[in-house]
Amino acid sequence: MRNHLESRLAELQQEYQLGEGQLRKLVEQEAGLRETLLRIGGAIQMLQELLSHDQENGDGSGSYPQTEEPQTKEPQTETGPEAMSVPS
């Protein structure tokens, strides 16, 4: 009887380990699939926005208007130790 119980215990432990391995793989697959769906969803949203913009403007270009270039700031003078004058 004891041998039978020990044998069954070993079988169940092995099955449990196999199940854990399969579960780990499935979790990894789920994470990869979620990442892929997120990228696809972003691409869908971008295309919908482009099509919406295109339809609103009727220009057929499918592109957004050029954004304004950032204004350049006047060059700043150096404020490091080399640029500072020390009173005598």
- Domain hosting 22: range is 1-56
The answer to whether residue 74 is domain-embedded is no
> Is residue 84 one of the residues assigned to a domain?
no
Is there a domain that residue 49 lies in? yes
Please indicate, yes or no, if residue 24 is contained in any of the structural domains: yes
The pLDDT of residue 13 is above 60: yes
Average pLDDT, the chain: 82
Residue 39 within a domain: yes
CA distance 58 to 51: 10
Task: Report how far residue 72's alpha carbon sits from residue 20's, in angstroms, rounded to the nearest whole number.
Answer: 58
**Structurally, how many domains does the chain consist of?**
1
Residue 1 domain-assigned (yes or no): yes
pLDDT at 58: 79
For residue 88, tell me if it sits in a domain.
no
How confident is the model at residue 29, as a pLDDT?
A: 98
87 falls within a domain: no
Q: What is the pLDDT of residue 59?
A: 65
